[in-house]
Amino acid sequence: MMRGAEARHPLWDLPVRLSHWVITLCLPAAWWTAEEGLLELHAWIGYTVLTLVLARLAWGVCGSPQARFGDFLRGPRAILAYLREGRRETPGHNPLGGWSAMALWALLLAQAVSGLYNSDGILFDGPLYAAVDGDLADKLGAFHETAFNVLLAFVGLHVATIAVYQWGRKQQLLVPMIRGSAPGREGTGPAAPLARWLFLLDLVALALLAILAAAPEPVSSWW
Query: What confidence score (pLDDT) does residue 202 get?
Result: 97
CATH numbers and ranges of domains, the chain: 25-214 (1.20.950)
From CA 142, how far away is CA 102, in angstroms rounded? 23
pLDDT at 3 > cutoff 60? no
Query: What confidence score (pLDDT) does residue 136 get?
Result: 87
From CA 165, how far away is CA 163, in angstroms rounded? 6
pLDDT > 70 fraction of the chain, expressed in percent and rounded? 92
Query: What confidence score (pLDDT) does residue 218 get?
Result: 59
Determine contact, residues 166/42, Cβ cutoff 8 Å.
no
Residue 113 vs residue 124, higher pLDDT = 113
Stated pTM of the model? 0.90
Query: What confidence score (pLDDT) does residue 108 get?
Result: 96
The DSSP line for 100-161 is HHHHHHHHHHHHHHHHTT-B-SSS-B-TTGGGS-HHHHHHHHHHHHHHHHHHHHHHHHHHHH
Mean residue pLDDT across the chain: 88
Query: What confidence score (pLDDT) does residue 130 get?
Result: 80
Per residue in 155-210, pLDDT (tens digit) is 999 999 999 988 988 888 899 999 999 888 889 999 999 999 999 999 999 999 99
